Structure 1
Amino acid sequence: MCHQKLTVDLCRNVNFISGQNGSGKSAILAAIQICLGAGARRTNRARNLKELVRKGTTSNCAKIRVTLLNKGDDSFKHDVYGDSITVERTIALRGGYNGYKLYGADDVEQSRSKKDLDEMLDKLNIQVENPVAILDQEEAKKFLTGKDTDKYRFFMKATELERIDNTYGSTMEQIDEMKHQAYRLEESLDTDKELVVETKKAYKQHQEIGKLESKKAKFETQASWSAYRTMLMGLKGKMQQLELFEAKAEKKQKELTQAEAASQDADNPNDECRDRLDELSNEADKMSLRKRELEVELKNLTEPRSRFKSQFKVLCKEEKQADRYLLEMNQRLQGKRDEIVKKAGSAESEQAQRNERLRDAEERLAERKIRNDELKQSTTDLLQSYEKVEPEVQGARQNVSQLEYQVRGIDSKIRGMESSSGNSLDVFGHRCNKVKQLVDRATQQRKFRGPVLGPVGFFCKVQPGKEEFAALAEAAIGTGALDRFVVFNDADRKLFQKIRRDAGCQSDCNVFQQSQHSRYNIPEAPQGVETVASVVTIENDLIFNCLVDNAKIDQKALARSKEDSEANLLDKDNHGRHCIRGGKIKEVFLLPHGDNWKVLKGGKLVMNANSRRLKQSIGVDRTAAIEEAKEEYQAMNEELKDLNREYNRLEHEHTDLKKRWNASKKEMYKTNKEIDQAKKDIEDTKAQESESAEMEVDTTLEESDVAEAQETLDDVKEKKGKVQEEMKKLMPVIAEKEADVAEISARNEKVLVDIKNAENELTQHYHALTQQKEKLDKTRKRLEQYTELVRVHSAEIEEAEEIANTCLRSARGIQFNCENIERRRKQRDAKEGATGDTQVSAYSQEPTDEDLENVQIPDNLDNLKETDYYLGKIEQANTRIEREKERRLENSDDEDAAYDKYVRAKEIYLAKKDQISEIDSVSKQLDADMANRRTRWGHYRDYISGFSGNKFDEILNIKGSAGTVQFDHDQESLNLIVQKDAFDEQSQQKDVKSLSGGEKSFTTIALLLALGEMLETPFRVMDEFDVFLDPVTRKLIIDTLIQVGKAMSHRQFIFITPQDVSNVDSSPMLKVLQMKPPERREVAGAPVQQVIEFS
């Protein structure tokens, strides 16, 4: 209307809104009415909602929001909305949402349903259509000027009596409609009863015919069982004839089974054996690489031992020097002793002899110790040399075996390509051409269910300009992939395996099984990086998909060197671990040798060396392939000769070291025995010397020199022992690593042996399989003749069994239907004599398989007569039934249909009787209830009338006047009698139209307040309540309104007036809102109305 945007905060009790005309006071009232569900016409300001929107606005819609308090026991869905409910109504001007929204206390939308709004208004007793609750200007102006009947209608509407009366009237109309419906049902009851009698009579006539039909059904049952017996007898004769042929076929089958069993034991290890060959080849490559890695690790471990050996040699030299010095000191001591002996003379000859023996023993001990140390060192050196050479011998032997195997494979490939007729497929294997011819022949004969493509390498071409990566791409695809064929179902795979066996293939020309779908859309390789998929062109979509699935050509990158690959692809993640750039790249292959690297889980970088020579089959013609294979064969032969020479040299050195080590051990054993004997002689001589009297000699100096020399020698030996101890600590680790090398060498040799054995096994198997197949084919042909005879007779028996089963099912069905008819007839007879429900159980539906299985075959099957006899009886029964129908019945219904009509007619008749009784009972109860309600409504109307009159007089007394409200409920009129002076009866006015304008306004307010006492609405709005009031009366009525409003603290009052209310004081229970004057009044020289601001 006149507001572009306005927010009004009201007090919870009494509110006065004042302002000049046009300031938008009444717009607030209209907004409350519209937002809470009233129509545009109820506001008396517009015909539709769009006319209420402010003119000249650029907005697409107008919005009105009213927030209601939602506390206390009478709150509406407090758990959903909380302490307040905000109603928002949108009025769309040019499309968009146009309706209501309900928000909770948290300003979250909870509903858009008008039904929820009406339910909330009803719960909170908000009546926007009630003029007492919301009194606008038009209602206030025409209230007292209307007729007595208009005032009465106003009273009835304001007090909700009119709504209750209308509800009672609508209920009485519904009761009358129920009574009229019962009357119509009673009129049609006689017709329904006559229909019951007629349908029952027709059913009784059908029952008589039904007895004849039961007899006919019995003949039909016997005829069907007779036909079944005839079929069983014919089937029995055919089965006896079949058993004779089956016995002969079984004998031949046993012979075939024995032949197949013999063939089955050796039949087709094919895929398993070939896969094992592939696994063994891959395992041999991995072990060879692992062996080289272990040899490098062993070399790193033996370097500290070499340093200790050098120290040990130095200590050995020092030990020899110390031994020589000790020997010199002993000789000096012995010389001193000899001198003492000479001086002692013959008296001490025994002592001299003992000294002589002691000297001889000590000399022998020193010499043997020196020799023993030399032998120990020599034995240790020989053992170390022997152990060092042994893994080299094993590795050389394994390398020779592997290279011999590769040479044989290349030689076989060359012979195959030279013996072929220039076919380009031979570059992938000398049997590829033969397998391809057999596949083409089988395709022409339509033996394959789907396409068979191959060999895979035939569909692969090298991209122009990328020929340098061709051999590397082939190595990345993998061994044994380019000579394979591709099939797309299990049946074709089995047939292809048979073709491989016929072609004599072993591990070559294998098969991939793939599903058919459109070409994969693989991501492009990173810039500057080549993959197998970018180097090799594959136009066939199915072959391309096969290599993506099985060879991962989109995940294998190719690079010219390790440095280039690491610069383009190797990276580190956020945790500092290695990773590969490029999305799906998982492995990188390098020129020139085909080495590769990849990053495992956890960021571990693994580098694998390739020991095989790169070769190229893709994009190479037959002549070039033969020349390349010959060059490779010659190079491998030269390499084989070198390896054989190296192996022979290492074997000879290995044998010589072993012999020398054994001889050194024997001599060291002999030396140890001589040392023990010398020590024993010294101990014996010293013991004899201690027993004899010693003569005084002075050899202290020489003995100290000997002790010092001995100390030096012991010190050197201690250092030597420490070095030996360090060497001994390294020995277990070295021995373990040498054991690993020996173990993997032995395993590699075993794998080579397993490869040879597997190849021999496949060769022997295919040879034996060919012989067994010839024998098996001969046996199978002999069996086919008998199998055909069995098949023909089995088909005849199967057909006879099918006919017999059809007859059995037909017989069971006829018997089931016959029994079903009898059950229905008995049940109908039982129901006819009973009371209550006449519905018969449903037996007329088609029998299920379970029902038919439950029908037993008669025991007297053999006693039945021929089928023609029963067919004649059936014909006679049909004739009698037709005659009876023509005589008795006028319609073509059968017994079941007649019974159904009778049951339906009876049900309808009984249902109508029950319905009439129920309507009579309910209508009587409703009449009594409505009479009681009408009486109570009259009492309530009288009470409200009396209360309103008393309250009206009480409010007039405030001004010193008096008055009564005269009600004529029969004539539906209401008249106000006002006595201006409560004590002067002459001042009484029976027509309010004769009152002045102020007296009319006061009288209006008095009546509205009196009526409002009975209205339990949470808020009331009165617009321009003080029109035509003089200042004294106006102040008096305002004070009265404030007093009444404050007394009803649980309700809210909104009074709208254009007059000045500046004399009204605001309080927590009262609030005055002054509207701003309209813009059209704000001109120079115009009077300015005072505005009171309230917080």
Structure 2
Amino acid sequence: MAAGTISRIRLENFMCHSSLHIELGEHVNFITGQNGSGKSAILTALCVAFGCRAKNTQRAASLKDFIKTGCSYASIVVDISNHGEDAFKPEVYGNVIILERRITESSSSTVLKDQHGRKVAHRKDDLVEIIEHFNIDVENPCVIMSQDKSREFLHSGNDRDKFKFFFKATLLQQVNDMLGSIREKLTGADSIVEELEKSIGPVLKDLDDLQGKIKNMEHIEEIAHEIDNLKKKLAWAWVYDVVKKIEEQANKLEKLKERIPACQERIDRNTAIIEELRKDFIVKKENVRSFLEKTQEVRRMKEKLEHDMHEAGKLKMDLEKEHERGMQMLNKMNNRVRQLQVQVDEFELQHMQETQAEVSQIEDKMRELQQEINSAHLSATRLKEEEKKLSEELWGITKSIGDIEKKIAEDARKINHLKSQIRDFQQRQHDKVTAFGGDRVLSLFRSIERHQSRFKCPPVGPIGAHVELSSDSWSVAVDCAFGRLLDAFIVSCHKDSLLLRECAKEANYRNLQIIIYDFAKPLHDIPNHLVPSTPHPTILSVIRSESPTILNVLVDQGHAERQVLVQDYEMGKSVAFDQRIRNLKEVYTSDGYKMFCRGSVQTILPPNRKWRAGRLCTSVGETITEMKNEATGIEQINLEREGQKSELVVQRGKIELQLRSLKRKREDEERRLERKKLQLDDTKKLSADNNHDTAVDTSELVAEMMQVKEDIGNKELVLQKINLKLTDALQEENNKRASYKDFIESAYAEMGSISDVEHELQLVEEKIHDAQQNDDGDFVQSLLLSPFAADQ
């Protein structure tokens, strides 16, 4: 059996087969059976085993759909013969290659085994390598032709489609694509070679310059070598000179050695003097240390005495404050006794002062107070009314200012929106494509250009960039009808759609609408009985495009042949709802209203007010001029409103001042009214009290006065005790101060003796220093007098 021949197929839980084993012959094999017995399942199993996608088999949407109902997995095992000269890696796989594909609910795996069942590989690239080696292309109709493909081939009466089928089946399509990509790469390589040849010229010139510089550098190196030799000769000349000087200095050193004994004798004499001074210095230093210890003890005693003095002074001050508080309390009690005595006297004289004249005076005063209360009430009422009027006027002005601010803010938003639209239209003037997706479309074009060799056919889009109108008056209506369909791109196959989706992701273009369509289809020929019978134009009749694919997509996806355009709102209602036209889907007015009828329900959708002109409009310059004039007019109106707002703000400030002034006057009148009412109540109460001629009971006041006098006696006893404590505290403080003074005088006497000892210690240090200086000076002087030092 030749290499690459399928010798055995084993299926488990795959489609309708629970367990199936088939041994295949070396030549032609026929599989027969009734409908539904699983013949096509065997062919589908081969396609799935060799890496075909589930959708491409046209039998299921995903691999998990191939699992038999009620089972959790499916398994496909295919044995491939690997004999002869065309064997694939016989040293690894042996005589048989076992291909196992296992499918579960959540995943699928492929395993390649050798003839003994040992696992060799599991990557998809290894499977592709085997398929390419044996030329097993399951998607090629000449290798595996499914029922659907054979039915499509038999029912296709177009010679062009048959040739395309033949072209693909014989792999000529793949060869043609490869030749095209090779031709493009060769063209690119030729241009690169030409550019490199052009760029070599300056490099050759630089090379000549470098060779000249190299020759100059060689000459410089020779000069540097001669300089090194001269430096070495100069160094040896310095060496000879230094050796001669060293010999002279050695002779002088011998002469100096003869003078060493005399110098050593003087050094020993001065050393003995220094030792005596150091002993004296140690004794003096010990005296100073003992004095310092005494000083520290004196300092501690001083701090203790100061603390005792402070505590005695604090105790004295506390007693003085307590004595002062007691005296104040005693004075208050005496004052209270006097006040109680005065009250008793006043109560006793109270009945004597109530006369008829006083009663008459109280009545006159009550009448006068009532008149003042009436006057104050009238004044307060008048001020309240004026304040209410000013408050209403202030509220009206504040509301007017708020309305003006809202209008200014709303117009500012309009201006910003107009400026944004102006920028969009100006960008459309430079590049029409940006109207259908903005800058993202430009990024997408650059990404498509980078990956253009990977597309089977270049994508077409956006659709709006390839469409023109017979009249700009329908631009808004057509834009409302198609909407995002104008932003869509068209590709020829599913593979190109996935590649275009990757390009869109790379360009950060999210939610790109991609339509898969056959570019080879001719322009649709729509019969008249399928078009709405109306004198008004349809969208298909007012759009133009050089690409028939664009028009076909707008018909298939956008129903352009069934959407009618009218001039105004009333005409649109008549066409959409009154005439009941067949094949009519929707009606659009020139200003963007959408009208349609679904059964008995009539629907009218308003236009998008943000659109000043449709994206298919060609007269962009006029629209930009209109929007600029509108923005300028709104800004002028806003300036006038700002002036009105400033005048109202000034007026509001004046009214607020008047309102505050009135409020102060009203509050003053109300306070005056309340005071008069209180005075009237007090007068009435006084009059009522005068009418009751009752005796006054002063027994409580007398009892309180006696209690206070008793408290005064107790307080005087406490003050006497405090006076005794205060006298003792004063005596203690004076004693502490005298002790502190005596201690300070004795400490000053001891400090004087410490100063004398420190002075003597300083004198000894100076003597030691002078002796050391004399010793060193004599030695230095002997050196300076020598001839060697003089030469140095």
Q: Which structure shows the higher helix fraction?
A: 2
RCO higher in structure (CA 8 A, sep ≥6): 1
Give TM-score, length-normalised by structure 1. 0.26
